[in-house]
Amino acid sequence: MKPSTMPAVWLQDGNLQWREDVPVPTPGPGEALIRMRLAGVCGTDLELVKGYYPFTGVLGHEFVGQVVEAPTAPEWVGRRVVGEINISCGQCRFCRRGLERHCEQRKVLGILGHNGAFAAYLTLPVRNLHAVPDAVPDEAAVFTEPLAAALEILDQVHIRPTARVLVLGTGRLGQLIARVLRLTGAEVHGVTRRARHAERLRAHGVQPLTPEQVPQAAYQIVVEATGSPAGLEMARRAVEPTGRIVLKSTYAGAQPLNLSPLVVDEITVVGSRCGPFAPALRLMEQGLVDPRDLLEARYPLSQALDAFEHAARPGTLKVVLQGPDQDD
> What's the pLDDT tens digit per position in 37-72?
999 999 889 989 988 788 999 999 999 999 999 999
Q: Is residue 228 part of a domain?
A: yes
Percent of the chain with pLDDT over 90: 82
pLDDT of residue 327: 46
CATH assignment at residue 305: 3.90.180.10
What pTM did the predictor assign?
Answer: 0.93
Q: Are residues 123 and 208 in the same domain?
A: no
User: How many helices (DSSP H) and strands (DSSP E) are in the chain?
Assistant: 10, 19
pLDDT of residue 70: 96
Percent of the chain with pLDDT over 70: 97
Q: Are residues 111 and 22 in the same domain?
A: yes
- DSSP label at residue 119: B
pLDDT for residue 266 is more than 60: yes
Confirm if 285 and 274 have CB atoms less than 8 A apart.
no
Q: Are residues 90 and 204 in the same domain?
A: no
Nearest 10 degrees: Cα torsion 156, 159, 163, 169: 50
Q: Are residues 115 and 159 in the same domain?
A: no
The whole-angstrom separation of Cα 61 and Cα 137 is 18
Confirm if 2 and 68 have CB atoms less than 8 A apart.
yes
Q: Is residue 215 part of a domain?
A: yes
Q: Is residue 284 part of a domain?
A: no
Q: Are residues 294 and 267 in the same domain?
A: no
pLDDT for residue 170 is more than 50: yes
Question: End-to-end alpha-carbon separation of the chain, Å?
Answer: 13
Summarize the confidence of residues 110-123 as an average pLDDT.
Answer: 96
CA 236 distance to own-chain centroid: 24
Q: Are residues 306 and 234 in the same domain?
A: no
The whole-angstrom separation of Cα 267 and Cα 272 is 16
Amino acid at 12: Q
Q: Is residue 138 part of a domain?
A: no
Q: Is residue 260 part of a domain?
A: yes
Continuous H helices in the chain: 43-50, 93-96, 138-141, 144-156, 172-182, 195-203, 229-238, 260-264, 277-285, 304-311
Q: Are residues 171 and 232 in the same domain?
A: yes
Amino acid at 277: F
Nearest 10 degrees: Cα torsion 256, 259, 260, 263: 160
pLDDT, one tens digit per residue, over 279-314 is 999 999 999 999 999 999 999 999 999 999 999 999
Number of domain units in the chain = 2
Q: Are residues 246 and 308 in the same domain?
A: no
Burial of 161 (0-12, 13-18, 19+ CB in 10 A): exposed
pLDDT for residue 8 is more than 50: yes
Q: Is residue 276 part of a domain?
A: no
pLDDT, one tens digit per residue, over 69-101 is 999 999 999 999 999 999 998 899 999 998 888
Confirm if 236 and 229 have CB atoms less than 8 A apart.
no
Q: Are residues 24 and 116 in the same domain?
A: yes
pLDDT of residue 328: 42
* Of 209, 165, 213, nearest in space to 187 by CA: 165
Q: Are residues 127 and 164 in the same domain?
A: no
CATH assignment at residue 266: 3.40.50.720
pLDDT of residue 253: 61
Q: Is residue 179 part of a domain?
A: yes
Mean of the per-residue pLDDT values for the chain?
A: 93
Q: Are residues 123 and 157 in the same domain?
A: no
pLDDT, one tens digit per residue, over 196-216 is 999 999 999 999 999 999 999
**Residue 12 sits in which domain range?**
5-131+290-322
Q: Are residues 155 and 58 in the same domain?
A: no
